[in-house]
A and B are shown apart, each in its own frame.
Chain A
Amino acid sequence: MTAPPPVALAALARGLAERSYAAGSLVELALERAARAQSGLNALITLAPERARVDARRAHQHLASGTAGPLAGIPFAHKDLFCTRGLATSCGSRMLHGFVPPYDATVVERLDGAGAVCIGKANMDEFAMGSSNEHSHYGPVRNPWDPGRVPGGSSGGSAALVAAGVVPFATGSDTGGSVRQPAAFCGITGIKPTYGRVSRWGMVAFASSLDQAGVLARSAADCALVLSVLAGHDPRDATSVDRPVDDYVGALAEGVAGRRIGVVRQYFGAGVDAGVATAVRGALAVLERAGARLVDVDLPSLEESIAAYYVIAPAEASSNLARYDGVRYGHRCADPRDLADLYSRSRAEGFGPEVQRRILVGTYVLSAGYYDAYYGRAQRVRRLIAQDFARAFAEVDLLAGPTAPTTALPLGSSDADPAALYAADVNTVAVNLAGLPGISVPAGFVGGLPVGLQLVAPAFAESRLLAAGHALQQGSDWHRATPAAHWYG
Chain B
Amino acid sequence: MIDDTTLDHLGRLARLAIDPAARPRLAADLDRILGLFERLKALPLEGVAPLAHPHEQCASLRPDAVTDAGGVDALLALAPESQGGYYLVPKVIE
Residues of A within 8 A of B (CB): 99-100, 102-103, 195-196, 209, 235, 238-242, 304, 306-308, 310-311, 318, 322, 325-332, 336-345, 347-348, 351, 353, 356-357, 359-361, 363-365, 367, 373-374, 376-384, 386, 417-419, 422-423, 433-436, 459
Contact = CB atoms under 8 A, between A and B. Distances in A.
Nearest to A329: B78
B48 A348 contact: no
Interface residues of B, number: 52
Given A242-B60, A351-B16, A417-B32, A386 B89 contact: no
A300 to B, nearest CB: 11
A238 B79 CA distance: 27
A377 B40 contact: yes
Nearest to A303: B39
Most chain A beta carbons < 10 A, residue from B11, B34, B55: B55
Interface of B: 6-7, 9-11, 13-19, 22, 26, 29-30, 32-37, 39-41, 43, 45, 48-55, 57, 59-60, 62, 71, 74-75, 77-81, 87, 89-92
A422 B79 contact: no
Contacts of B60: 235, 238, 240, 242
Contacts of B77: 102
A383 B55 contact: no
Contacts of B40: 304, 307-308, 311, 373-374, 377-378, 381
Given A357-B30, A380-B45, A459-B55, A304 B39 contact: yes
A348 B17 contact: yes
B59 A339 contact: no
A270 to B, nearest CB: 14
Contact of B49 (A326, A336, A380): A380
A417 to B, nearest CB: 6
B87 to A, nearest CB: 5
B52 A209 contact: yes
A242 to B, nearest CB: 7
Contact of A367 (B10, B36, B53, B80): B10
A382 B16 contact: no
B92 A339 contact: yes
A307 B39 contact: yes
12 contacts: A102-B77, A239-B55, A331-B80, A341-B90, A345-B17, A347-B16, A348-B18, A365-B37, A379-B51, A380-B48, A422-B33, A422-B36
A364 B30 contact: yes
B32 A418 contact: yes
A422 B35 CA distance: 12
Contacts of B62: 235, 238
A205 B68 CA distance: 20
A195 B55 contact: yes
Nearest to A336: B90
A384 B80 CA distance: 45
Given A310-B36, A357-B30, A377-B41, A195 B54 contact: yes
Contacts of B9: 367
Contacts of B35: 419
